Structure 1
Amino acid sequence: MKIPEFKNEKDEAAYWDTHSAADVLDELENVVLEPTPELKEAIKSRAQNRLKMVSLRLREDQIRAVKDIAAKKDIPYQTLLRSWINEAIHSEQHSPQ
């Protein structure tokens, strides 16, 4: 089975709605893709910035307060805590000793 030429994406979508790609797998050529240096760097950077789990004990009233504030901001409370920690780290790193 040969894949036809299509005039536009709409015609192609209509074709694939009624045909299976499995019917033309033998016609497709194998392609080896190499990531660009930019993509490699982005992947490496993302892996380095991956979040790690930590355990932190807080009083119940602190947890309630954080959850209430986060709800008002319409964000997860964990995101709010990370934001506050980042702000404190930044402040400490840039304040005079």
Structure 2
Amino acid sequence: MIELPLPQSISSEEKARELIRMWHSEDGELTVTIDGWLDNPNVCGRLIVDLAVLIAKDYVATDVWRGTLEAALYRILSAADAEIQNPTNSPVLE
């Protein structure tokens, strides 16, 4: 299994906690486990938005995305909205 490393800024914090783990299997199945701290769907909703912002920032910072932060975030949220409105059955990572 391939795991991502802990961010250096977090690895030394005693009270830091992992909130979500998500895996993608070879057959295309996505699986997630969440920390008990996320016991409220409203908290999960806010976390999803925070995650989208952090992903957009990382795209721009690492030059994965050549556009602006705002454009990256718009594309992420637009794709999420499209998936909510019309769910697909195909795996995300093929």
Length-normalised TM-score, structure 2: 0.31
For CA contacts below 8 A with separation 6 or more, give which structure has more relative contact order. 2
TM-score by length of 1: 0.30
Q: Which has the larger radius of gyration?
A: 1
Structure with greater strand percent:
2
